[in-house]
């Protein structure tokens, strides 16, 4: 059995470890464990772990705590994702009831990016990690498809911005834009697999300036005002018949829709 003295020596050695620089406030979930940033389509999580004072040496104690902190961050992301809307009828948690999807999502989350690691004087470790909501995650949650036909990129418009402020539209991974009869004008069925991988279905912004400056649509985006939400607190948006005709005008090249170049402006939290 290791002596009390050896534990004390290990603890004192751990206390001498330097702190790493703190991550910026933008990439810090604060006092909570998870922050979902819909404007940048990322999820940021904190993971913490206490030191293992039974480790053979300081390096092993720090490595073990760091590994445990990353596992804690992974678990926190998984739990937070379960409440994220995929579409108007399901959440990530609903989709994860399928064992194959659950395994796929859990594997994707393991590829998070570590933004910051902090070593505390008591030997504990705190990590801040980040992962994209678009790309592989969104693709894993949507039904497989052969993909839409590609066109030459539009010279008229570089993307679509739907101004849905005042409608309390909830952010989701796979929102839909509908006409007044409920037919899908835009959504997962329109975006190619390559578009889903690169951009997901839609981005979110809190004002028009932020939306227009987003690389997803920047250049010459088409801006349309939403007419209504399909249901309060939902993620699907209804356009007027006039705006649907404008969007589908013959002269309009809509190839940008196949690449997920759509931004939704919403004032909902």
DSSP the chain: ---HHHHHHHHHHHHTPPPPPPPPGGG--TTSSEEEETTTTEEEEEEEE---TTSSSHHHHHHHHHHHHHHHHHHHHHHHHTTSEEETTEEHHHHTTSHHHHHHHHHHHTTPEEEEEEE-TTS-EEEEEEEESTTHHHHHHS-----PPP-PPPSS-S-EEEE-TTS-PPP-SS--EE-TTS-EEESTTTS-HHHHHHH-S-EEESSHHHHHTSTTT-SS-EEEE--EESSTT-S-EE--HHHHHHHT-TT---GGGGGT-EEEE----
User: What was the pLDDT predicted at 31?
Assistant: 58
CA distance 12 to 60: 15
User: What was the pLDDT predicted at 196?
Assistant: 92
User: What was the pLDDT predicted at 6?
Assistant: 44
User: What was the pLDDT predicted at 18?
Assistant: 40
How confident is the model over 142-181, as pLDDT tens digits?
A: 988 654 444 444 457 889 999 999 999 999 999 999 999 9
Q: How many residues does the chain have?
A: 269
From residue 142, how far is each of 51, 87, 90, 201, 256 by CA, in Å? Answer: 40, 10, 11, 10, 20
Greatest CA separation for the chain? 81
* pLDDT (tens place) for every residue of the chain, 269 residues total: 444 334 444 444 434 434 444 445 567 676 579 999 999 999 999 999 988 777 667 777 788 899 999 999 999 999 999 999 999 999 999 999 999 999 999 999 999 999 999 988 778 899 999 999 999 999 999 988 654 444 444 457 889 999 999 999 999 999 999 999 999 999 999 999 999 998 999 999 999 999 999 999 988 899 999 999 999 889 999 999 999 988 877 566 788 999 999 999 998 76
Domain boundaries, the chain: 4-140, 146-265
């Amino acid at each position: 059995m290791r002596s009390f003295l050896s534990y004390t020596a290990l603890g004192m050695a751990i206390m001498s470890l330097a702190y790493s620089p703190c991550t910026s406030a933008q990439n810090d979930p604060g006092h909570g464990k998870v922050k979902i940033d819909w404007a940048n389509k990322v999820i940021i999580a904190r993971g913490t772990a206490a030191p293992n004072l039974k480790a053979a040496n300081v390096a092993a104690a720090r490595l073990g705590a760091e590994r445990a902190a990353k596992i804690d961050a992974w678990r926190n992301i998984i739990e937070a994702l379960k409440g994220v809307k995929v579409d108007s009828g399901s959440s990530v948690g609903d989709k994860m009831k399928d064992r194959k999807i659950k395994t796929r999502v859990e594997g994707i989350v393991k590829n998070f990016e570590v933004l910051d690691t902090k070593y505390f004087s008591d030997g504990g470790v705190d990590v801040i990690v980040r992962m994209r909501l678009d790309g592989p995650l969104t693709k894993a949650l949507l039904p497989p498809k052969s993909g839409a036909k590609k066109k030459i990129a539009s010279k008229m418009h570089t993307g679509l911005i739907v101004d849905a402020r005042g409608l309390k539209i909830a952010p989701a991974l796979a929102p839909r834009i509908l006409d007044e009869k409920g037919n899908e004008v835009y959504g997962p069925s329109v975006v190619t697999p390559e578009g889903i991988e690169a951009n997901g279905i839609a981005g979110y912004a809190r004002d028009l300036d932020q939306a227009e400056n987003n690389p997803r649509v920047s250049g010459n985006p088409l801006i349309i005002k939403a007419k209504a939400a399909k249901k309060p607190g939902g993620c699907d948006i209804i356009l007027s018949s006039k705006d649907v005709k404008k969007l589908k005008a013959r002269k309009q090249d809509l190839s940008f829709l196949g690449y997920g170049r759509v931004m939704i402006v919403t004032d909902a939290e």
